[in-house]
Amino acid sequence: MKVADVFRVRNPEIRALHLTWIAFFITFYVWFNMAPLASSMLKSVDWLTKDDIRLFAICNVALTIPARIIVGMALDRFGPRRVFSVLMVLMAIPALVFAFGTTMMQLLVSRLVLSSIGASFVVGIHMTAMWFKPRDIGFAEGFYAGWGNFGSAAAAISLPTIALQMYGGEDGWRWAIAQSAIFMAAYGVYYWFAITDGPVGTVHRKPRKAIALEVSTWGDMVKLILWTIPLVGVLGILVWRIESMGYIGRTGALICYGVITAIVIYQIIQILRVNIPILKKGVPEDDKYPFNSVAALNSTYFANFGAELAVVSMLPMFFEETWSLSAAAAGMIAASFAFVNLLARPMGGLVSDRMGNRRFVMLAYMFGISIGFALMGFMNSSWPLIIAVAITVFTSFFVQGAEGATFGIIPSIKRRLTGQISGMAGAYGNVGAVVYLTIFTFVTPTQFFYIIAAGAFISWVLCLMWLKEPESGFAEEYQVSSVDLQIEEEARQKQAGATAG
């Protein structure tokens, strides 16, 4: 696939790519529609405080982690078209409740529920994988994710103007948020009718059970359990933050910890229920896949996407205080970190497609991240500002490229399980953000940069040991195993039986 191909909108796969990144763009636009309107909210609602806004910001990412896991399972069962459409329509409801909420509890709960919309990322990843062949998947996924993530920047740029100029008044922010929600719901309905799950005639191969990820060996099952615990367990950090801010008491926190523990235990039980019968029966050689590769990519997304979310949150203040800049100037410079996303992420996927070795590209990007953040740790007020900005852009280039390279590999690991693997890796990006942002509350910016540099280097080591080059990474078609064919035949017989009945 060439860059010029993205303009061939009459090609079905290109049309599907554009329809899907627009859906992703809209969901991220709605997801991040609060931050640019926070000051308007404080002026409009006299009972709202800055601490409330900070709490809403935490709630805004809280349920994204479990949502990405659940949506990943739903993808393998229902397909990305249905899941994406339903997600956009359903998430418009909490967005509207937040827009017109009149109590603290209404705003808090609606923001918490709305955080599930962050699962949209893994839906589009799956849909894109349905339309593009292994040899082109890197660039296609990078293009999708690059423009989709730009939705958050578009919200920051346009929503204040919409609130002040189009609607005006004290409730302008409410109508601006409501408008974005209504538009998202309308596009969700349109998306249902405008696209299919892959080209017409495509067989949507899916696992027999989508409640937990299938593995190939007993050892992999143990590893899956170990990698599943932090996914939900990390929410305990959020509970601790909310309790320490005084929004819930000790009893409420203990109840939350109990719920989190129960969910973790439930997840482990589901893993055992799905995999013990499969492993006792024996997994055919052509159906096995390396779970170590999944674990390695979990670590890369923890280290690159997690670091990105954390750095974007602290970078403006770092530039403002270190070089004594105005808030506006620091914000503009810090925005360069996110703006690189538009170019670097598709390029990461394109390089992954062209180099002929997706593992090497992944290793190169992760090593570049560790070098970049280490250099940012050396930056101080004695450095020329232009050099600091150049290093920031250099680091961002590797961070965004690594994100693109991560999802350039995932569809080729195990086609039947793409949704769940994407969901797990995507959730680990949010786990990384929660962990890094929590660490940042205890250290200086310089120490913080060294820590995330070390995190990237550890991920590089894990990739060096565990990540394997996908067997069908550059093939014309994804690998089909004997189990895939068996599931396909069972579905055909089931459908024939239903028709005859």
**Same domain, yes or no: 221 and 366:** yes
**Same domain, yes or no: 112 and 256:** no
Look at residue 1 in the predicted model and tell me its pLDDT: 67
Interacting residues of 285 by C-beta distance below 8 A, sequence separation 6+: none
- Quick one: CA dihedral 212, 215, 221, 225, positive or negative? negative
**Same domain, yes or no: 391 and 474:** yes
Picking from 226, 214, 223, 229, the residue whose alpha carbon sits closest to that of residue 265 is: 229
CA distance 377 to 374: 5
45 part of a folded domain: yes
Interacting residues of 93 by C-beta distance below 8 A, sequence separation 6+: none
82 part of a folded domain: yes
**What tokens does 204 get?**
């949507």
Contact 59, 111 (CB under 8 A): yes
Q: Which of 149, 176, 200 is the last residue of a domain?
A: 200
Look at residue 331 in the predicted model and tell me its pLDDT: 67
Cα angle 117, 123, 128; round to 5: 145
| pLDDT tens figures, 189-215 | 999 999 998 887 666 666 666 678 899
**Same domain, yes or no: 173 and 219:** no
Q: How far from chain centre, in Å, is Cα 501?
A: 43
Picking from 454, 474, 295, the residue whose alpha carbon sits closest to that of residue 366 is: 454
CA distance 451 to 445: 10
CA distance 9 to 395: 33
Q: What Cα–Cα distance (Å) separates residue 414 from each residue in 20, 209, 288?
A: 22, 15, 9
Contact 424, 394 (CB under 8 A): no
Cα angle 433, 436, 439; round to 5: 145
**Same domain, yes or no: 328 and 275:** yes
CB atoms within 10 A of CB 316: 20
SS3 324: coil
Picking from 167, 123, 104, 137, the residue whose alpha carbon sits closest to that of residue 20 is: 123
Q: Based on the structure, what is the number of domains in the chain?
A: 2
Picking from 151, 420, 445, the residue whose alpha carbon sits closest to that of residue 271 is: 420
CA distance 446 to 440: 10
423 part of a folded domain: yes
**Same domain, yes or no: 176 and 320:** no
How many helices (H) and strands (E) would you count in the chain? 20, 0
**Same domain, yes or no: 247 and 174:** no
CA distance 372 to 393: 9
Instruction: Look up the domain containing 165 and give its range.
Output: 1-200
205 part of a folded domain: no
Look at residue 86 in the predicted model and tell me its pLDDT: 96
**Same domain, yes or no: 153 and 231:** no
427 part of a folded domain: yes
Ramachandran region, residue 207 (left: φ > 0; alpha: ψ -120 to 50; beta: rest): beta
Picking from 499, 434, 437, 465, the residue whose alpha carbon sits closest to that of residue 62 is: 434
Q: Which of 200, 228, 262 is the last residue of a domain?
A: 200
CA distance 287 to 215: 10
Give, for all 501 residues of the chain, the pLDDT tens digit: 676 777 888 888 999 999 999 999 999 899 888 877 877 888 888 888 877 776 777 777 778 878 877 887 788 788 899 999 999 999 999 999 999 998 888 898 898 899 899 888 888 888 988 888 877 777 888 888 777 777 877 887 788 888 888 888 888 999 999 999 999 999 999 999 999 988 876 666 666 666 788 999 999 999 999 999 988 888 888 788 778 877 778 898 899 899 999 989 988 999 999 999 999 988 888 888 899 999 999 999 999 988 887 887 677 778 888 888 776 677 667 667 767 777 777 777 777 777 778 888 899 999 999 999 999 999 988 999 999 989 988 998 899 888 888 877 887 888 778 878 888 888 898 889 888 877 887 889 899 999 999 999 999 999 999 999 877 666 666 777 778 788 777 777 777 776 665
CB atoms within 10 A of CB 496: 10
CA distance 132 to 302: 26
- Quick one: CA dihedral 52, 55, 57, 60, positive or negative? negative
Q: What Cα–Cα distance (Å) separates residue 356 from each residue in 303, 360, 470, 475?
A: 24, 9, 11, 11
**Same domain, yes or no: 414 and 285:** yes
**Same domain, yes or no: 273 and 158:** no
206 part of a folded domain: no
432 part of a folded domain: yes
Contact 69, 231 (CB under 8 A): yes
Picking from 185, 218, 343, the residue whose alpha carbon sits closest to that of residue 291 is: 218
SS3 231: helix
435 part of a folded domain: yes
CA distance 218 to 223: 9
CATH number, residue 114? 1.20.1250.20
Q: Which of 140, 166, 200 is the last residue of a domain?
A: 200
**Same domain, yes or no: 140 and 273:** no
**Same domain, yes or no: 215 and 195:** no
CB atoms within 10 A of CB 498: 8
150 — phi, psi (to 5°)? -65, -15
End-to-end Cα, the chain, rounded Å: 46
